Amino acid sequence: MRTQLLNRFLRYVQVDTQSDENSEKYPSTDKQLILAKMLKEELEYIGMTDVRMDKYGYVTATLPENTDKKIPVIGFLAHYDTAPDMNGSNVKPQVFENYNGADLIINKDLDIILNIKDFPELVNYKGQTIITASGDTLLGADDKAGIAEIMTVMDYLVNHPEIKHGKIKVAFTPDEEIGKGVDYFDVQQFKADYAYTVDGGPIGELEYENFNAASAKIKIRGRNIHPGYAKDKMINALLIATEINEKLPAKQRPELTEKYEGFFHITQINGTVEETEVHYILRDHDKTEFENKKKLIQDIVNSINKRFAQPIIHLELKDQYYNMREKIEPVMHIVEQARQAMIDVGVKPEIKPVRGGTDGARLSYMGLPCPNIFTGGHNYHGKYEYAVLESMEKSVEVIVRIIENAAKTK
């Protein structure tokens, strides 16, 4: 399986599938469908049934049960789009076998180095196989590693009918990175009792909590006057943007938070004296604190508008997804099932909250409980991204064991 897994992954990452948050299409980019069609053909080739690709780019397939025993239908999902944060075209993967445990030079000319000082977890993978891009693109392990792992499992099970299992469903989805991954996903048609997204990070990660998330788009209308004659007349939209940012809690920024701590994250600012637009994302695991964050940014906007006695600022607040813990806790046996599968194959489970989002969060609120398991990737969304082949192999083993154990349950 090792060679198949690696070859699949290397093939997938070379297809540009970046999503676009400014697009109004679905999927947001046509190029995502190139990989979607490849995946559909591969699912058919390995012998999956009911293979479909719908008009939204969702690729789904079924592995029929091979036992008369009544077993819950389990789903496995991964997304094929990559993040728009970093160039994702012309990805040139590099495979470093038998990593020596020292700083790893990704690109000498660009001085892109995975060094132990900044990435101390690297030493855990001495002697293993590290996969990176070439220094000027992301790799795309998020989440093409998950796709490669699910596909490898399905291929293995098709060719090993002696492994008894219930019905298994798989789905590959677009636009997860821009928060729209399951906008049109038909949970009822998918017909799984529960599922797992294979979209985590380092080996052992098992997650059933995530942020509550909202976006804030702030449009500021200023008044540009010749600076020599601007007294009591000019309204500088750029300065108002900085004022808003200064009124937010300085300690609640991503670079200063961890674990269950939420944040305000400024992601974009564009403008002039006359007109400026600022984008934020708001995150918190706690629902009350999440609501407080939204209220704070609304109160700041209201206060400034009141000071100018006119609505110079327009705020668009939009909820994106919610903490799936609320929906997973009533069915915690599916988390325990994944935890036990990890133990069975020699992986230490690391149960912790997702400091981000996952399709599984929205799917859980749509009626499909969906924890998240690791893929073996690190440093997603940037040029320092890498995947560990041995961790990817363990993800494959965990998925197989989840399926095996479900079939043994009375």
User: Catalytic residue numbers?
Assistant: 81, 176
216 CB-contact burial (10 Å; exposed 0-12 / middle 13-18 / buried 19+): buried
Spatial separation of the C-alpha atoms in residues 305 and 210, rounded to whole Å: 34
Q: Are 193 and 406 in contact (CB under 8 A)?
A: no
386 CB-contact burial (10 Å; exposed 0-12 / middle 13-18 / buried 19+): buried
Which runs of consecutive H residues, i.e. helices, occur in 226-286? 237-247
Q: Are 201 and 146 in contact (CB under 8 A)?
A: no
Sign of CA dihedral 249, 251, 255, 261: negative
Q: List Cβ neighbours of 239 (8 Å cut-off, separation of 6 or more).
A: none
Q: Mapping DSSP to helix (H, G, I), strand (E, B) and coil, where does residue 7 land?
A: helix
Strand positions, DSSP E, 304-367 = 313-321, 350-351
Selection from 149, 133, 173 nearest residue 14 by Cα: 133
SS (H, E, C) 35-100: HHHHHHHHHHHHCCEEEEECCCCCEEEEECCCCCCCCCCEEEEEECCECCCCCCCCCCCEEECCCC
The DSSP secondary-structure symbol of 262 reads -
User: Which residues share a beta bridge with 177?
Assistant: none
